[in-house]
Chain A
Amino acid sequence: MSSTGVSLSARQIVSKIIVYAILGIGSIVILLPLQWMISTSLKPLSHVFRFPPEFFPQQVIWQNYPDALSQLPFDLYFRNTLVIVILCLIGEVLVSSVVAYAFSRLRWRGRNTLFIVVLATMMLPRQVTLIPEFLIFRELGMIDTFGPLILPSFFGNPFYIFLLRQYFLTHSRELDQAAVIDGCSRFGVFWRITLPMSKPVLAAVAIFSFQFHWNDFFRPLIFLFSADNYTLALGLRFFQGTYGTEWNSLMAVSLVVMLPLIIVFFFTQKYFIQGVVFTGYK
C-alpha cells in the first residue's frame, strides 16, 4: 500500500504493535460485560456476593438456568414476542418496500413534496404522538392486545422507506422499461425485478425490524397489561421486580433473552453491517 516497498521500517513496526495493543485492549473492554454476565449467571448466589468478586466462577451451576427460567412462563412470553416481532417484520418489509418503490421508480406529481414529509417524520420522536395514539387504540378496544404493537408496522416505517428508496434509485430504469415491453405489468416489475434485485437491503431492513421489536420495551409497557400478553421485555422487567437481588438468575434470564438476537447477528452480520453503512454513510 505505502510506497516504501516490502520491508517495514522499525517505526512502522512499533506503530503497528501499538495499534494492535489498543484494539486488543478495547476488544477486551467491550467483551468484559458479556463475560461478567455469563460468569455471574453460573455462580451460586452465595458466590455472587463474595468479596472481592471472582471474574470466573469457581463453582459452575448450570442448574441456575432451568431454575430461573421456570420461575415465570418465559415460553409464553417468548411466543408472544415472536408473534409480534414476525408480524411487524412482515408488515414493515412489505409495506415499506411498496411505498419506497413509488418514491423511487415511478414518476408522479407530488412525489418530492411527500418524500420530504417522510424525511420529517423520520426525525419525529414517536412519543410526541403517543397519547392520542393511545386514545385511538383505546377507542378501538385494542388496549391490552397486540394490535397497537403490530398494526402501525403495516403503514410502513419512514426510516425503512428512506433506506429502500435510496437502494432502488441505484437500479437502472431501462431494465424496468424492457420488462414492460416484454409484457410485464407495472406491479410485476416491482415484484419480479426490483424486489429480487434488492435482497441485501431487504435483508438489512428485516434484521433492523427484528432487532428493534425484539428489544422494544416502551410500547409493550404502555399497551399491554395482563401477564398472559407479556413480551420477553415485560416478563424480564416483572422478573427483576420480583427477584431483584438474585443476580445470578437475573443474568441467566437476561442472557437467554439476548441470545436469539446474538445468534441472528452472527449469521447475518454481513447484511447487518451493510445496512448500517447504507443508512449512515451518505
Chain B
Amino acid sequence: MTLPLRRFRLTWQQGEVVLAWAMVSPWLAGFLLLTAFPMVASLVISFFEWNLLSPPEFVGLAHYNKLFFSDPLPMHSLKITVIFSLASIPLNIVFGLAIAMLLNTNIRGLAVFRTIYYLPAILSGVAVAILWQWIFSSDFGLLNTALRIFGIEGPAWLGSKVWVLPAFVIMRLWSVGGGMVIYLAGLQAIPTDLYEAAEIDGANWWQRIFRITLPMLSPTIFFQLITGVIFSMQIFTETFIMTDGGPANASLFYLLYLYRQAFQNFKMGYASALAWVFFVAVLLLTLILFATARFWVYYEAESAEDN
C-alpha cells in the first residue's frame, strides 16, 4: 500500500512543477514581451531623438533636460493631473463611504438603491464624455439649468480656466458607486457585537464611527486609495473628447500631452522620457501612500487569514 503511493506522489510532484510552468507560461511570455522588454526599451529610446522616419540619433539626457527645465508643459500637466487626483480621490472616498453608511442602516429597498448608485460606475469612455460635455454647457446644460433653480448663475465650466478642473472632479464623482459597493460589503462584514459592546460602554455615534467603523474599513479604504491614484492619474478620454486640453492648457492632463508628443508629433524619444517620468511619478505617489499606511491602516491580528 505504501510503496505505490510514494511512487505516485513523486511523479505527481514532478508533474505538478512541469504543469505549473506550462500554465504560467502565457503570462510569463506576455510579461517579458509586453512589459519587461518595453520598460527597458522605452528607457533606451528616451536617450534618442527618433521620429520613426530617419534613424534614431543619440541625444543623452537632452529629453530629460527639456522635460524638467525648458518645456513648461510636462510639469504643468503633471501638476494639474496631481491636483485633479488629490481633489477627486478623497471626494470619491468620502461620498462613497457616506452613501454606504446610509445604506447600511437596515433600510428597505437596499438592492434598488445599490443598483441606482452603482449604474454610472459601469459607464465610461467616449459616450460618457460626450454626455458630460453637454451637461456642462453653460447656457443649455443640465448643471447650470439646475443651479438656476437655486438662483445661481453657473460658470462656463469647460470654457473656464478656473472651473474646468472642478468640472472633471464633478464628472468623476458620478461614478462614486464603484467604491460605495465595496465599502458596503466591508461594513456588512464588521461584527455587530463590536458595536453592541461599544454601546454598553457608552460610546456615542461619532466615537463608534471613528473607533470602530473607520479602523475596521481602513484596509479597504487604503486599497481604494492606491487604485484611485493609478486610475485618476491616467485620465485621458474625458479631456481628449471634452476639452482637448483647453482652455489655455488648463486641462492638459499628462497622458494627453504624452499622446500628442508620441502619436501626433511622432517624437518617440521625448514621449518615452515623458512615459518614464510618469511611471516614476505614479510610483512615488503610491510609495508615499504605502509609507503612511502603518499610521492609519489597521490590520487584524493575522489569525483567520491563512486558508
Are the C-beta atoms of A281 and B131 separated by less than 8 Å? no
Q: Contact check: which of A22, A33, A55 meets B102 at CB < 8 Å?
A: A22
Are the C-beta atoms of A152 and B125 separated by less than 8 Å? no
A20 CB contacts on chain B under 8 angstroms? 107
Docked Cα-Cα span, A251 to B29, in Å, equals: 43
Q: Is B255 interfacial (CB 8 A cutoff)?
A: yes
Q: Contact check: which of B20, B116, B125, B128 meets A27 at CB < 8 Å?
A: B116
A107 CB contacts on chain B under 8 angstroms? 13, 16, 20
Are the C-beta atoms of A30 and B23 separated by less than 8 Å? no
Are the C-beta atoms of B23 and A23 separated by less than 8 Å? no
Q: Is B41 interfacial (CB 8 A cutoff)?
A: yes
Docked Cα-Cα span, A238 to B263, in Å, equals: 17
Are the C-beta atoms of B16 and A186 separated by less than 8 Å? yes
Q: Taking CB as reference atom, which chain B residue is nearest A181?
A: B8
Number of chain B residues whose Cβ lies closer than 8 Å to a Cβ of chain A = 98
Q: Is B162 interfacial (CB 8 A cutoff)?
A: no
Are the C-beta atoms of A217 and B237 separated by less than 8 Å? yes
Are the C-beta atoms of A254 and B131 separated by less than 8 Å? yes
**1/0 per residue A142-169: CB within 8 Å of B?**
0000000000101110100100000001
Q: Which B residues between 277 and 291 are near A, CB-CB below 8 angstroms? A: 278-279, 282, 286
B212 CB contacts on chain A under 8 angstroms? none
Are the C-beta atoms of B125 and A233 separated by less than 8 Å? yes
Are the C-beta atoms of A127 and B125 separated by less than 8 Å? no
Are the C-beta atoms of A132 and B234 separated by less than 8 Å? no
Q: Which B residues between 1 and 44 are near A, CB-CB below 8 angstroms? A: 12-13, 15-17, 19-21, 23-24, 26-31, 33-35, 37-39, 41-42
Q: Which B residues between 100 and 136 are near A, CB-CB below 8 angstroms? A: 102-103, 105-107, 113-120, 122-128, 130-132, 134-135
Are the C-beta atoms of B186 and A23 separated by less than 8 Å? no
Answer whether A250 and B134 are a contact pair too, CB < 8 Å, given A132-B37, A217-B126, A273-B181.
Answer: yes
- A105 → chain B closest CB, angstroms: 9
Are the C-beta atoms of B39 and A155 separated by less than 8 Å? no
Q: Which of B58-66, B69-77, B84-92, B139-147 contacts A (4 or more CB under 8 A)?
A: B139-147
Q: Is B169 interfacial (CB 8 A cutoff)?
A: no
Q: Which B residues between 178 and 202 are near A, CB-CB below 8 angstroms? A: 178-179, 181-182, 185-186, 189, 192, 196
Answer whether A156 and B27 are a contact pair too, CB < 8 Å, given A19-B102, A51-B140, A132-B37.
Answer: yes
Are the C-beta atoms of B27 and A36 separated by less than 8 Å? no
Q: Is B224 interfacial (CB 8 A cutoff)?
A: yes
- B191 → chain A closest CB, angstroms: 14
Number of chain A residues whose Cβ lies closer than 8 Å to a Cβ of chain B = 95
A130 CB contacts on chain B under 8 angstroms? 38, 262, 275
Docked Cα-Cα span, A255 to B27, in Å, equals: 36
Q: Is B230 interfacial (CB 8 A cutoff)?
A: yes
Q: Is A52 interfacial (CB 8 A cutoff)?
A: yes
Q: Which of A65-73, A82-90, A116-124, A197-205 contacts B (4 or more CB under 8 A)?
A: A116-124
Docked Cα-Cα span, A195 to B226, in Å, equals: 30
Q: How many A-B residue pairs have CB under 8 A?
A: 255
Docked Cα-Cα span, A156 to B34, in Å, equals: 11
- B289 → chain A closest CB, angstroms: 11
A217 CB contacts on chain B under 8 angstroms? 125-126, 236-237, 240
Are the C-beta atoms of A280 and B38 separated by less than 8 Å? no
Q: Is B241 interfacial (CB 8 A cutoff)?
A: yes
Are the C-beta atoms of B30 and A280 separated by less than 8 Å? no
- B214 → chain A closest CB, angstroms: 15
Q: Is B215 interfacial (CB 8 A cutoff)?
A: no
Q: Is A128 interfacial (CB 8 A cutoff)?
A: yes
Are the C-beta atoms of A222 and B140 separated by less than 8 Å? no
Q: Contact check: which of B26, B27, B275, B286 meets A128 at CB < 8 Å?
A: B275
Are the C-beta atoms of B24 and A152 separated by less than 8 Å? no
Q: Is B245 interfacial (CB 8 A cutoff)?
A: no
**1/0 per residue A179-202: CB within 8 Å of B?**
010000011000000000000000
B181 CB contacts on chain A under 8 angstroms? 273, 276-277, 280
Docked Cα-Cα span, A219 to B223, in Å, equals: 26
Q: Taking CB as reference atom, which chain B residue is nearest A238?
A: B126
Closest 8 CB pairs of A and B: A155-B30, A280-B182, A132-B38, A129-B38, A215-B125, A102-B23, A132-B41, A254-B127
**Apart from the given pairs A123-B226, A233-B127, 13 other A-B contacts in the complex at a CB distance below 8 Å:** A26-B99, A26-B117, A99-B26, A102-B19, A107-B16, A128-B278, A131-B262, A131-B272, A134-B263, A233-B126, A236-B127, A262-B119, A277-B185
Q: List 20 A-B contacts (CB under 8 A).
A: A30-B116, A31-B116, A33-B135, A36-B135, A37-B134, A53-B141, A121-B35, A123-B226, A129-B42, A170-B307, A217-B125, A217-B236, A217-B240, A221-B240, A250-B130, A265-B122, A266-B115, A272-B118, A280-B223, A282-B219
